[in-house]
Amino acid sequence: MCGIVAYTGCHEAYPILIKGLKRLEYRGYDSAGVALSQPEGIALYKCRGRVEDLDTLCSSKNCEAHTGIGHTRWATHGEPSTQNAHPHLSEDGKLALIHNGIVENYLVLKKELVSRGYHFQSDTDTEVLVHLIQDTLKNEQVSLPEAVKIALSSVVGTYALAILSADEPDQLILAKKGSPLLIGVGDNEYFIGSDGAPIVEYTKKVVYLEDGDVAVVSPNKKMVVMNINDNRKKRRYLQELEMNLDQLEKGGFEHYMLKEIFEQPKAIRDSMRGRLNVRKDVVSLGGIIEYETKMMNARRFIIVACGTSWHAGTVGEYLFESLVRIPVEVEYASECRYRNPLIYEDDVVIAISQSGETADTIAAVELAKQKGATVIGICNVVGSTLARATHAGSYTHAGPEIGVASTKAFTAQVTVLTLMALCLARRKGTISLSDYHQIINSLEDIPAKVEQVLKLNGQIAEFAKFFVNKTNAIYLGRGINYPVALEGALKLKEISYIHAEGYPSAEMKHGPIALIDEEMPVVVLATEQETYEKTVSNIQEVIARKGKIISIVTKGDKLVKEMSDYCIEIPETLELLTPLISCVPLQLLAYHVAVLRGCNVDKPRNLAKSVSVE
């Protein structure tokens, strides 16, 4: 949600900023801008639209500079427009500022600043920050870093900030609270990013700023970090960035989303590596070892997450309840926070997030900690806010996910949840040895089975043609495949803008059946054995109303296949593990429908990958 990049050093800043913005564009792509330190003062270029549009605009401008800041925006306050694009300038034009986050008390601050003669050029909450800092500089007669600290102490909300000053042209001031900010340390140069993507090409040595930090960097000088909470200088240690440049490229695929769908066998294998040892009969997750006893004895698991991660959590509910036999509640993180939930000290909260930066999920984690619960994280981005905020946790090893619609992160999350459930069930004794053997053996085979499903890509691309002109779709699933139906529907609506609803198959008759006519595609997950007959009846009910059936069945299935207009056969596995396979054709289906409809698959309208505002 908004991407920040900045550079100061001996190289040309503009190419570094623009490349960084392109890598961060998945965080928002409503407008983009840069501010550059030049001998005459700050040069500001910004426009509505993509980073590519900004690059075109800048091609006719003087962009020479060794220090600069850049921003790609996901609009919160104020429509996407050039006026509302960052950076924002102070009244005297001497400060330029970029921001990721939300200034919650901006109206109060704005009123005050307007009464003191400041003129606002935009409708954003961000612009108050730059005027506030200038006002503090003027009134308090302090240095810029001091002024930033003082100004931020009256700000309510979240921020990651980078500030450029015409008076200190090679200096950058950075500040963080609630939104991520990393400083890459090069050879007498600094690379700043909302995450590692714009930094990794130049250095892997990074400092993760902490909440309340205000940092000052200039080439050839040591970084200085202070914290507004206690006004002391802080020592922040260098860490190794766990990311590779080739993970950020498309690797021959037309879109990141397709690449990431095809990376799932690897993502699942990597998430199992070192954790699942079938030969030795062991499932073990190093990150939670110290908390295993606490987890085994939990009164209840509460899974908090948003979006696709919430769907993975709902698969987790089925896994944990059936294997560990402890009650599970799955909560939207945003709902959990504001309803004063009952969370006890012997509850274990599992927070799931690909990015580790989703504001609602982080807020739910903080709340759970306040209530004394143990909080376990499942997250993909190493060193992210979630990873640092939880008591313990397990990383998914899916590698960077760039496509806004989450795919490989989902299967990696489900993999880690499966391993966690198995590990706890074994220790708790809620699973028989034979079931345990059977599940871990089947789990090991999953990546190969996903590879088989990926071979159906061509067939699914053909089926997608049927959806092109549709306006609605229903997805049905039962048991552990119900969350997969939700996820399939989410994928379709996110990237193709076709309205889609996921439902438990048997619930169709309580409402959605009213929508069925010859125009309605109904995607049915029909792999569940226990409820197979019931699903067959549901399919009949759709056919009787002339709906069109697109089914996902187990290879060799005859009955449902014959009843379907389109049928996708997936390899057989244990029921509990089917989500890891059955989600894949639904991802491919959504992808091909979106491509056929000419949608921007990797950057769907209005969405952002990392939603760091509540």
**Which residues are annotated as catalytic?**
2, 609
- The residue count for binding ligand G6P (CB under 6 A) is 16
Burial group, residue 49, by CB count within 10 angstroms (0-12, 13-18, 19+) = middle
Of 483, 464, 404, give the one whose Cα is nearest residue 25.
404
> What is the C-alpha R_g of the chain?
25
Q: Which one of residues 258, 306, 348, 424 is an interface residue with ligand G6P (CB under 6 A)?
A: 306
Of 468, 187, 416, 487, give the one whose Cα is nearest residue 424.
416
Q: Which one of residues 194, 203, 218, 354 is an interface residue with ligand G6P (CB under 6 A)?
A: 354
Q: Which residues contact 68 (CB under 8 A, 6 or more apart)?
A: 6, 7, 8, 13, 14, 17, 34, 35, 36, 37, 164
Q: Which one of residues 309, 374, 415, 564 is an interface residue with ligand G6P (CB under 6 A)?
A: 309
Residue 512, preceding peptide bond in cis (omega within 30° of 0): no
Whole-number Å distance between alpha carbons of 365 and 361? 6
Q: Which residues contact 85 (CB under 8 A, 6 or more apart)?
A: 30, 31, 32, 33, 46, 47, 48, 71, 73
CB 478 within 8 A of CB 612: no
Which residue's C-beta sits nearest to ligand G6P? Answer: 307
The count of other CB atoms within 10 Å of the CB of residue 59 is: 8
Q: Is 103 in the site for ligand G6P (CB under 6 A)?
A: no
Q: Least distance to ligand G6P from the beta carbon of 313, Å? A: 10
Q: For residue 164, give both structure tokens.
A: 């450029």
Q: For residue 55, give both structure tokens.
A: 């690059």
Burial group, residue 597, by CB count within 10 angstroms (0-12, 13-18, 19+) = middle
Site for ligand G6P in 383-442 (CB under 6 A): 404-406
Residue 340, phi then psi, degrees to nearest 5: 45, 60
Stretch of 140-148, 225-233, 369-377, 603-611 contacting ligand G6P, by CB under 6 A: 603-611
CB 591 within 8 A of CB 79: no
Nearer to ligand G6P, 136 or 353 (CB): 353
Q: Which one of residues 100, 179, 308, 481 is an interface residue with ligand G6P (CB under 6 A)?
A: 308
Q: Which one of residues 81, 353, 578, 582 is an interface residue with ligand G6P (CB under 6 A)?
A: 353
Of 247, 310, 266, 254, give the one whose Cα is nearest residue 454.
266
Q: For residue 235, give both structure tokens.
A: 């020592």
Q: Least distance to ligand G6P from the beta carbon of 366, Å? A: 15
CB 7 within 8 A of CB 192: yes
Q: Least distance to ligand G6P from the beta carbon of 609, Å? A: 5
Site for ligand G6P in 19-38 (CB under 6 A): none
CA atoms within 13 A on the CB side of 489: 25
Stretch of 79-87, 227-235, 348-356, 571-579 contacting ligand G6P, by CB under 6 A: 348-356
Nearer to ligand G6P, 358 or 505 (CB): 358
Which residue in the block uniquely carries the two structure tokens 């924002």? Answer: 88
Nearer to ligand G6P, 386 or 392 (CB): 386
Nearer to ligand G6P, 416 or 611 (CB): 611
Nearer to ligand G6P, 374 or 610 (CB): 610
Nearer to ligand G6P, 170 or 357 (CB): 357
Nearer to ligand G6P, 242 or 435 (CB): 242
Q: Least distance to ligand G6P from the beta carbon of 361, Å? A: 5
DSSP output for 440-459: HHHHHHHHHHHHHHHTTHHH
Q: Is 461 in the site for ligand G6P (CB under 6 A)?
A: no
Whole-number Å distance between alpha carbons of 446 and 454? 12
Q: Is 374 in the site for ligand G6P (CB under 6 A)?
A: no
Whole-number Å distance between alpha carbons of 503 and 484? 10
Q: Which one of residues 307, 316, 383, 585 is an interface residue with ligand G6P (CB under 6 A)?
A: 307
Q: Which one of residues 361, 527, 564, 578 is an interface residue with ligand G6P (CB under 6 A)?
A: 361
Q: Is 612 in the site for ligand G6P (CB under 6 A)?
A: no
CA atoms within 13 A on the CB side of 486: 18
Q: Least distance to ligand G6P from the beta carbon of 541, Å? A: 32
Stretch of 244-252, 350-358, 481-489, 514-522 contacting ligand G6P, by CB under 6 A: 350-358
Of 585, 591, 579, 587, give the one whose Cα is nearest residue 564.
585
- In the shown chain, the binding pattern of residues 477 to 516 toward ligand G6P, with x for contact by CB under 6 A and - for none, equals ----------------------------------------
Q: Is 583 in the site for ligand G6P (CB under 6 A)?
A: no
Q: Which one of residues 134, 355, 394, 538 is an interface residue with ligand G6P (CB under 6 A)?
A: 355
Q: Is 57 in the site for ligand G6P (CB under 6 A)?
A: no
Nearer to ligand G6P, 136 or 406 (CB): 406
Stretch of 98-106, 133-141, 174-182, 349-357 contacting ligand G6P, by CB under 6 A: 349-357
Q: Which residues of 196-215 are buried (b: 16+ CB within 10 A; e: fewer)?
A: bbbbbbbbbebbbbbbbbbb
Nearer to ligand G6P, 534 or 605 (CB): 605
Q: Least distance to ligand G6P from the beta carbon of 89, Å? A: 31
Tell me which residues touch ligand G6P (CB under 6 A): 306-309, 353-355, 358, 361, 404-406, 607, 609-611
